[in-house]
């Protein structure tokens, strides 16, 4: 089976697809990734064949807006409402026509038999419908696009589909959802579960010297630091130092370390970003609410302190807090208050109930179908389509 993989030009949108892609390759299927350099360079680094179209998209340009120097987006704009969070789908709806002809031509020439895309890459469903092959969408977090917003997206895809000879705007043949039941969106369209697997990269998992109970991984994400988040990271470091007896690993690119400053004893910088390496062995993860961090820590059964800065990260924080698997500080006032940070950290390190709730979420995830099991289902989907054609 030949599977064409398409993603919006954001590496963190593509990475959640990697476990399923690897399961497909392990089963002997052929994979080809296509998109802009933001995604294809990540695919090539993972050893996957890729075809690149266009220039880098630089999605970070969409994130910060025009802000006074030194202020994080949350300090300027506050928490976005649900409509604002869902509105990001319009960005990717507008993106569809730019490379759709290229993707279609590639799919035809390569002989694609199935299209796999993440849930904001709306071109995948169109390509599948035009070529008469199954199209599968893979969600990448706990906040899928709301039905009302999906209808709005499809409304404006009508003319594009009509020019391609389609009678209607297609929907995916199959939706895959990596969110376990306790974190899933109850209002989202029904989807088939797929177990999230914490992303790994070349390297060795972080190892701790401190005894269990006081190990902390801090990973605010590169975009948070780029958007004036170094002061927040410094505040977290100082809070951890003040609590005492805590060993911490702090993920930060070298370009930000001068602004953050030297770390106290028992804390170390790392360039690791993959949850499967960075989070393993920790007792608490402090992160920004990114999909990979949220589901990675959840799959490992680690309590989380979520400090959202943008978009659906606020929803991730809500879901983790509601499940009892962690806490979320969702305002600039709370995040900028060392006392509130210390209170949250102590609660998560000292309360065994938090660990029990996080472990319950981990157990839910362990019961979800593995990527290898889903790969078999995709093969069956393709076979059924071929037989019925």
d(CA 140, CA 179): 8
Supply the pLDDT for residue 389.
62
Supply the pLDDT for residue 63.
66
pTM: 0.94
d(CA 21, CA 134): 16
Task: Say if CB 95 and CB 157 are below 8 A apart.
Answer: no
Q: Which residues pair with 34 in a beta bridge?
A: 6, 51
Task: Say if CB 66 and CB 126 are below 8 A apart.
Answer: no
Residues with Cβ within 8 Å of residue 321, at least 6 apart in sequence = 306, 327, 328
Over the stretch 370-389, which tens digit does the pLDDT of each residue have?
999 999 999 999 887 776 66
The DSSP line for 175-189 is: EEE---TTTS-TTSP
Q: What is the mean pLDDT of each run of 10 residues along the chain (389 residues)?
A: 96 95 97 97 96 89 72 91 83 89 97 96 96 96 85 87 93 96 88 95 82 92 90 97 94 96 95 93 96 97 97 95 98 98 97 95 98 96 76
Domains and CATH numbers, the chain: 2-196+369-388 (3.40.50.2000), 215-367 (3.40.50.2000)
Over the stretch 104-152, which tens digit does the pLDDT of each residue have?
999 999 999 999 999 999 999 999 999 999 999 999 999 888 888 888 8
Residues with Cβ within 8 Å of residue 250, at least 6 apart in sequence = 218, 233, 237, 260, 263, 267, 268, 269, 270
d(CA 287, CA 301): 15
The DSSP line for 277-292 is: HHTTT-SEEEE---HH
């Amino acid at each position: 089976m030949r599977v064409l993989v398409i993603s919006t030009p954001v590496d963190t949108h593509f990475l959640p697809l990697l476990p399923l892609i690897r399961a497909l390759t392990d089963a002997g299927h052929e994979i080809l990734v296509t998109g802009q350099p933001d995604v294809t360079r990540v695919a090539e680094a993972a050893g996957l064949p890729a075809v690149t179209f266009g220039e880098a998209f630089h999605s970070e340009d969409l994130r910060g807006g025009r802000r006074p120097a030194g202020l994080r987006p949350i300090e300027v704009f506050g928490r976005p409402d649900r409509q604002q969070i869902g509105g990001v789908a319009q960005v990717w709806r507008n993106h569809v026509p730019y490379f759709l002809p290229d993707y279609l031509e590639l799919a035809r020439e390569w002989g694609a038999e199935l299209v796999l895309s993440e849930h904001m890459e709306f071109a995948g469903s169109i390509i599948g419908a035009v070529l008469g092959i199954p199209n599968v969408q893979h969600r990448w977090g706990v906040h899928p696009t709301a039905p009302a917003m999906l209808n709005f997206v499809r409304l404006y895809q009508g003319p594009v589909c009509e020019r391609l000879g389609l009678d209607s705007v297609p929907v995916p043949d199959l939706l895959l959802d990596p969110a376990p039941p306790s974190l899933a969106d109850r209002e989202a369209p029904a989807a088939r579960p797929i177990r999230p697997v914490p992303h790994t990269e070349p390297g060795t998992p972080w190892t701790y010297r401190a005894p269990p109970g006081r190990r902390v991984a801090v990973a605010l994400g590169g975009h948070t630091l780029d958007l004036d988040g170094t002061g927040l990271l410094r505040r977290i470091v100082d809070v951890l130092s003040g609590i005492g007896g805590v060993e911490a690993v702090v993920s930060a690119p070298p370009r930000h370390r001068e602004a953050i400053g030297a770390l106290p004893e028992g804390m170390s910088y790392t360039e690791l970003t993959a949850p499967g390496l960075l989070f393993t062995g920790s007792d608490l993860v402090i992160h920004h609410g990114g999909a990979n961090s949220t589901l990675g820590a959840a799959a490992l059964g680690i309590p989380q302190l979520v400090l959202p800065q943008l978009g659906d990260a606020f929803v991730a924080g809500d879901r983790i807090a509601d499940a009892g698997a962690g806490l979320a500080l969702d305002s600039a006032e709370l995040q900028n208050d060392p006392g509130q940070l210390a209170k949250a950290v102590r609660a998560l390190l000292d309360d065994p109930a938090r660990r029990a709730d996080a472990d319950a979420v981990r157990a839910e995830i362990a019961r979800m179908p593995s990527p290898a099991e889903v790969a078999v289902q995709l093969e069956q989907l393709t076979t059924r389509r071929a037989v019925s054609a």
